[in-house]
Structure 1
Amino acid sequence: MQVRVELGILQMELSGRPDGGVSVFETRFGADLNPGVGGLDSELCRVLHREAALYAYRALVCSSLELHERVVADASRNLEVMDFMIAHANDASDRQAARALRVQSLVMRVRARASHALASQTPAIARSLVEDGIQEVQAALRLAGRSEEVESAAEIQLLRSLVEVLIPKLPASQRHEMELRLKAALEVENYELAAILTNELRQLF
Structure 2
Amino acid sequence: MARKVRNIDALLRQWDYQPGQPIVRRATGSDQRDLLQIRVDMGVLQMEVTDRPDGHRPEGFPTYYEYLVAASFEEGPDFELDEERCSEIDREFYQFYHRRIAWLTLKEFGNAVADAEHSLRLMDFSSANAPDAQWALLHEQYRPFVMFHRTQAAALSELESTEPRTAVEILDEGLAALEHVFEEHDAADRFDDDLFVSKLREMRTSVMEHYEIGPTLAEQLANAIAAEQYELAAQLRDQLGESDQN
TM-score, structure 1 as length reference: 0.74
Give the CA deviation at 1:32.
6.7
Is 1:126 matched up with 2:167?
yes
Give 1:16's aligned residue. Answer: 51
State how many pairs are aligned. Answer: 173
Q: Deviation string for 1:87-119 (max 9, x for gaps)?
A: 111201122223222222111100010000001
Is 1:3 matched up with 2:38?
yes
3-state SS in 2 of match to 1:16: coil
Within the candidate set 146, 149, 152, 1:105 is matched to 146
Give 2:5's aligned residue. Answer: none
3-state SS in 1 of match to 2:86: helix
Give the CA deviation at 1:143.
2.8
Give 1:74's aligned residue. Answer: 115
Aligned pairs for 1:161-180 (under 5 A) are 161-166=202-207, 169=210
Within the candidate set 73, 78, 86, 1:45 is matched to 86
Is 1:25 matched up with 2:65?
yes
**Relative contact order, CA 8 A, sep 6+: which one is greater?**
1
Give 1:201's aligned residue. Answer: none
Give the CA deviation at 1:81.
0.6
Q: What is the identity, as a one-letter code, of the residue corresponding to 1:12?
A: M
Q: Select between 137-146 and 107-116 the one with higher mean Cα deviation.
A: 137-146
- Is the Cα–Cα contact under 8 Å of residues 159 and 167 in structure 2 kept in the other structure? yes
- Is the Cα–Cα contact under 8 Å of residues 164 and 211 in structure 2 kept in the other structure? no
Over the matched positions of the two proteins, sequence identity in percent amounts to 27
Q: What is the identity, as a one-letter code, of the residue corresponding to 1:17?
A: R
C-alpha distance 113-4 of structure 1, shift in aligned 2 (>3 A) = same
Give 1:177's aligned residue. Answer: none
The CA distance in 2 between the partners of 1:32 and 1:120, in whole Å, is: 39
3-state SS in 1 of match to 2:38: strand
Larger radius of gyration: 2
Give 1:179's aligned residue. Answer: none
Q: What is the identity, as a one-letter code, of the residue corresponding to 2:175?
A: I
- Is the Cα–Cα contact under 8 Å of residues 39 and 88 in structure 1 kept in the other structure? yes
Give the CA deviation at 1:15.
0.4
Q: Which one has a larger percent helix, Structure 1 or Structure 2?
A: 1
